[in-house]
């Protein structure tokens, strides 16, 4: 397409700049707001902080509540990511090797899970978790997240299907066991896909509102998302303190997003189109 | 040995010849495969598959929040009959549709234009834009909602910047719905754009070359090549955006809690309130089933439309 006019090129440039501002500025703005005093924020919400201070942030981390929310969320996310990626990789591998009978049925069952909105299951799952005595525990939330392997399984299966079968045959001839083939050949090859699955499991478990909202009512076991929401209700006029809470709740996934951007971009479209 | 035992038992229940020859033998590989699928099933079946069936069952009963796990009273379709006569339900459905009517066309059109723009550009800026528009995927609906609340607030937000008597968007029913819609599009536009980008990259370059030789200009090529070939991608996107808008919960919970005067009480929020605030769990489940039916219908529609359109242009 080399018949681009200068007008076209300039308007594209303008669109790009507008986009960068619209997408990145709100996040930048919230970081700026968190290092202003509340008085300065209310007086000059859009200026660069005149005297940057970190009192809000220090207060946030010293007070105790925020650290607890952060720890709860970290535990939930860590266990969920490890569990989901392990289960999805194993099951995805098997479904890539077998596509008949019970395995076909089970794979379709997982695929079906992508279509069912979770609203349908929240009442029964709430009752199951409650009857296990796991309300107001991190374990209850983790259990629910462990059931969310559909996306990972579909993604891993697709990835494993692209591995040439010659590799597998060569390993079998060399006397490798079935699990050995999986563990020594397929898993190392699938590392990029596993990273993608881990990142999405991390984003989901870190950011989810619905399950913690339903399963956890004691502030002691609140997740970050719940904690940040609580700040919105409690510090209505302290905008800068609310900004600080917000910034530190979004920072960990944002950092991961920037590091693993490539894998996220490819995993996103792969998952969506396969759906 | 094992073989001998098996053929002995086969003597008792003599199977037709064909079945006998394909009788499965359980090998070490089968055991390994079974064990590898097992962990995922252990969580998925009791915490997702069974609850789907339970959810359906519960919607035909009376299950309040305090009763024990299993003592449910069957009341047939009573929940659905009540739902049909519930004005709050219908207004909630109407709000959800209005919300979708604001989100879907804007997100679809902006996404298409952005994808076309990004696809035509190369270099650092284009790559940077791709990173920037997808950022919200790392953020919770709550975080996006809070950011939007701040930026739309009359105290420290954009209204304070542009006017001395700033308006509070969230004090007015229509304004509140608009505010949440804008936040929704901001959060979802990256995803939409990326799906369009994948669709654009799948269009063979030769088609553009051929069109160019035939004298088609940039706009003509966009209308005659890009748009028709993006048909399937557009349908996929349309439906994904619609479902996303239809199920919006986190943003509503964060930004408006359904207010002012229930003006933003979309279906999923209405369902949550019935089930977990009023503790009418069966009634809530009936709403969820309706929600599921709507989404399932649209999804089936999508599968039919996209299957019909495959390979048509090649």
Check residue B17 and give its pLDDT: 58
| Measured distance between the N- and C-terminal CA atoms of chain B, rounded to whole angstroms | 58
> Alpha carbon of B143 to those of A208, B64, B136: distances in Å?
11, 32, 9
Would the pLDDT of B78 be above 90? no
Q: Would the CB atoms of B250 and A143 count as touching at under 8 Å?
A: no
Structural domains in chain A (count): 1
Report the alpha-carbon distance of residue B255 to residue B146 in Å, rounded.
7
Burial of B39-78, coded b for 16+ CB within 10 Å and e otherwise, reads bbbebbeebbbebbebbbebbbbbbebeeeeeebeeeeeb
Query: What pLDDT band is residue A275 in, cutting at 50, 70 and 90?
Result: very low
Q: Report the alpha-carbon angle B102-B105-B109, nearest 5.
A: 135
Q: Does A10 touch chain B (CB under 8 A)?
A: no
State the helix-helix crossing angle for A119-131 and B50-58, rounded to 10 degrees.
100
Report the alpha-carbon distance of residue A30 to residue A49 in Å, rounded.
12
> Of A38-47, A79-88, B28-37, which range is least confident?
A38-47
Under 8 Å between Cβ of B119 and A24: no
For chain B, the three-class secondary structure string (H helix, E strand, C coil) is: CHHHHHHHHHHHCCCCHHHHHCCCCCCHHHHHHHHHHHHHHHHHHHHHHHHHHHHHHHCCEECECCCCCCCCEECCCHHHHHHHCCHHHHHHHHHHHHHHHHHHHHHHHHHHHHHHHHHHCCCHHHHHHHHHHHHHHHCCHHHHHHHHHHHHCCCCCHHHHHCCCCCCHHHCHHHHHHHHHHHHHHHHHHHHHHHHHHHHHCCCHHHHHHHHHCCCCHHHHHHHHHHHHCHHHHHHHHHHHHHHHHCCCHHHHHHCCCCCCCCCCCHHHHHHHHHHHCCEHHHHHHHHHHHHHHHHHHHHHHHHHHHHHCCCCC
For residue B279 the two structure tokens come to 């503790």
Nearest to A35 by CA among A48, A52, A10, A20: A52
Under 8 Å between Cβ of B187 and B139: yes
Tell me how close the Cα of B151 comes to any Cα of chain A, in angstroms: 8
CATH (one of 1.10.3720.10, 3.40.462.40, 1.10.287.110, 3.10.450.50) for B86-309: 1.10.3720.10
Mean of pLDDT over chain B = 84
| Tens-place pLDDT, residues A215-257 | 999 999 999 999 999 888 887 778 888 888 899 999 999 999 9
Report the alpha-carbon distance of residue B146 to residue A26 in Å, rounded.
11
Place of tokens 């969230």: B170
A9 falls within a domain: no
Query: Which own/partner contact pairs does B215-218 have at CB distance under 8 Å and 24+ positions apart?
Result: B217/A3, B218/A1, B218/A3, B218/A4, B218/A8
Write down the domain spans for chain B: 2-58, 86-309
Mutate to test the interface with B, among A123, A129, A190 (most CBs of B within 10 A): A123
Check residue B302 and give its pLDDT: 77
What residues 135-174 of chain A have any CB closer than 8 A to a CB of chain B?
143-144, 146-150, 153
What residues 239-258 of chain A have any CB closer than 8 A to a CB of chain B?
239, 242-243, 246, 249-250, 253-254, 256-258
Q: Would the CB atoms of B132 and A203 count as touching at under 8 Å?
A: no
CATH number for A235: 1.10.3720.10
For residue B231 the two structure tokens come to 């048909």
Q: Does A122 touch chain B (CB under 8 A)?
A: yes
Print the domain residue range for A264: 57-165+193-274
Under 8 Å between Cβ of B294 and B246: yes
A46 falls within a domain: no
Report the alpha-carbon distance of residue B287 to residue B304 in Å, rounded.
26
Under 8 Å between Cβ of B231 and B287: no
Query: What pLDDT band is residue B80 in, cutting at 50, 70 and 90?
Result: very high
Would the pLDDT of A163 be above 80? yes
* Residues in chain A closer than 8 A to B62 (CB atoms): none
For residue A104 the two structure tokens come to 């076909």
Would the pLDDT of B48 be above 90? yes
Mutate to test the interface with A, among B29, B39, B51 (most CBs of A within 10 A): B51
Exposed, middle or buried: residue A235 (CB in 10 Å: 0-12, 13-18, 19+)? middle
Under 8 Å between Cβ of A249 and A97: no
Exposed, middle or buried: residue A239 (CB in 10 Å: 0-12, 13-18, 19+)? buried
Q: Would the CB atoms of B44 and A113 count as touching at under 8 Å?
A: yes
Q: Would the CB atoms of A254 and B135 count as touching at under 8 Å?
A: yes
* Gyration radius (Cα) of chain A, Å: 23
Q: What is the mean pLDDT of residues B27-50?
A: 91
Residue among B125, B156, B191 whose CB faces A42 most closely? B156
For residue B287 the two structure tokens come to 């709403």
A–B interface: beta-carbon pairs under 8 A = 264
Report the alpha-carbon distance of residue A200 to residue A204 in Å, rounded.
6
Query: Who wins on pLDDT, B194 or A38?
Result: B194
Report the alpha-carbon distance of residue A98 to residue A28 in Å, rounded.
49
Q: What is the mean pLDDT of residues B133-154?
A: 91
A257 falls within a domain: yes
Tell me how close the Cα of B1 comes to any Cα of chain A, in angstroms: 23
The neighbour count for residue A52, using CB atoms within 10 Å, is 12
Report the alpha-carbon distance of residue B257 to residue B255 in Å, rounded.
6
A255 falls within a domain: yes
Report the alpha-carbon distance of residue B210 to residue B122 in Å, rounded.
22
Check residue A250 and give its pLDDT: 93
For residue B91 the two structure tokens come to 């207004």
* Residues in chain A closer than 8 A to B29 (CB atoms): 178
Q: Would the CB atoms of A120 and B240 count as touching at under 8 Å?
A: no
Q: Does A18 touch chain B (CB under 8 A)?
A: no
What residues 244-273 of chain B have any CB closer than 8 A to a CB of chain A?
247, 249-250, 253-254, 268, 271-272
Nearest to B292 by CA among B263, B258, B268, B270: B268
Report the alpha-carbon distance of residue A261 to residue B134 in Å, rounded.
9
A16 falls within a domain: no
Q: Would the CB atoms of B155 and A239 count as touching at under 8 Å?
A: yes
- CB neighbour list of residue B288: distance below 8 Å, 6 or more residues apart: A117, A119, A120, A122, A123, B55, B59, B271, B275
- CB neighbour list of residue A216: distance below 8 Å, 6 or more residues apart: A135, A136, A140, A141, A222, A223, A226
| Measured distance between the N- and C-terminal CA atoms of chain A, rounded to whole angstroms | 32
* Residues in chain B closer than 8 A to A46 (CB atoms): 161
pTM value?
Answer: 0.88
- CB neighbour list of residue B62: distance below 8 Å, 6 or more residues apart: B72, B73, B74, B75, B78, B282
Check residue B21 and give its pLDDT: 57
| Tens-place pLDDT, residues A164-197 | 888 888 888 888 888 888 898 899 999 989 999 9
> Of A34-48, A134-148, A189-203, B7-21, which range is least confident?
B7-21
Sign of CA dihedral A210, A216, A217, A221: negative
* Residues in chain B closer than 8 A to A90 (CB atoms): 36-37, 39-40
Query: What pLDDT band is residue A68 in, cutting at 50, 70 and 90?
Result: very high
């Amino acid at each position: 397409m080399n018949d681009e006019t200068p007008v076209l090129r300039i308007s594209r440039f303008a669109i790009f700049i507008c986009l960068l501002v619209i997408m990145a500025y709100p996040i930048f703005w919230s970081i700026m707001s968190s290092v202003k005093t509340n008085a300065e924020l209310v007086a000059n919400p859009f200026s660069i902080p005149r005297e940057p201070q970190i009192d809000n942030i220090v207060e946030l981390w010293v007070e105790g509540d925020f650290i607890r929310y952060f720890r709860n969320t970290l535990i939930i996310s860590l266990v969920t990511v490890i569990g989901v990626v392990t289960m999805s990789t194993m099951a995805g591998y098997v479904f890539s090797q077998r596509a008949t009978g019970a395995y076909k049925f089970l794979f379709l069952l997982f695929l079906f899970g992508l279509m069912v909105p979770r609203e349908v299951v929240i009442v029964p799952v709430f009752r199951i978790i409650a009857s296990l005595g796991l309300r107001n525990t991190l374990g209850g939330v983790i259990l629910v997240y462990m059931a969310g392997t559909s996306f990972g399984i579909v993604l891993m299966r697709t990835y494993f299907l692209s591995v040439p079968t010659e590799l597998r045959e060569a390993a079998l001839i060399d006397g490798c066991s079935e699990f050995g083939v999986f563990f020594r050949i397929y898993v190392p090859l699938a590392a990029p896909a596993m990273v993608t699955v881990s990142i999405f499991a991390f984003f989901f478990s870190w950011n989810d509102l619905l399950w913690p909202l339903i399963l956890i009512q004691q502030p002691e076991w609140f997740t970050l998302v719940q904690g940040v929401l609580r700040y919105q209700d409690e510090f209505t006029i302290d905008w800068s303190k609310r900004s600080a809470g917000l910034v530190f709740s979004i920072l960990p996934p944002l950092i991961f997003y920037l590091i693993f951007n490539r894998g996220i971009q490819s995993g996103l479209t792969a998952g969506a189109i396969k759906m | 040995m094992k073989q001998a035992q098996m053929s002995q038992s086969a003597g008792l229940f003599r199977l037709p010849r064909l079945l006998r020859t394909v009788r499965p033998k359980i090998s070490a590989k089968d055991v390994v495969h079974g064990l590898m699928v097992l962990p995922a099933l252990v969580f998925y079946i009791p915490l997702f598959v069974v609850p789907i069936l339970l959810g359906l069952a519960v919607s035909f009963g009376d299950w309040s929040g305090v009763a024990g796990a299993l003592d449910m009273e069957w009341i047939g379709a009573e929940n659905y009959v009540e739902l049909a006569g519930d004005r709050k339900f219908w207004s909630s459905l109407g709000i959800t549709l209005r919300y979708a009517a604001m989100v879907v066309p804007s997100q679809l059109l902006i996404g298409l234009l952005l994808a076309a723009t990004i696809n035509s550009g190369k270099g650092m800026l284009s790559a940077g834009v791709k990173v920037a528009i997808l950022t919200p995927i790392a953020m919770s609906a709550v975080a996006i909602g809070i950011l939007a609340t701040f930026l739309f607030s009359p105290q420290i937000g954009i209204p304070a910047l542009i006017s001395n008597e700033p308006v509070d968007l969230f004090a007015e029913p229509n304004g509140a719905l608009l505010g949440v819609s804008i936040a929704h599009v901001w959060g979802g536009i990256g995803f939409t754009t990326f799906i369009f980008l994948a669709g654009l990259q799948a269009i063979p370059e030769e088609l553009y070359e051929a069109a160019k030789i035939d004298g088609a200009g940039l706009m003509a090529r966009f209308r005659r090549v890009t748009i028709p070939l993006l048909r399937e991608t557009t349908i996929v996107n349309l439906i994904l955006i619609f479902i996303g808008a239809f199920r919006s919960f986190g943003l509503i919970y964060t930004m408006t809690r359904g207010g002012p005067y229930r003006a933003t009480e979309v279906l999923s929020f209405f369902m949550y309130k019935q089930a977990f605030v009023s503790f009418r769990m069966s009634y809530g489940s009936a709403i969820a089933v309706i929600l599921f039916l709507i989404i399932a219908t649209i999804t089936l529609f999508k599968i039919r439309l996209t299957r019909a359109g495959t390979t048509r242009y090649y």
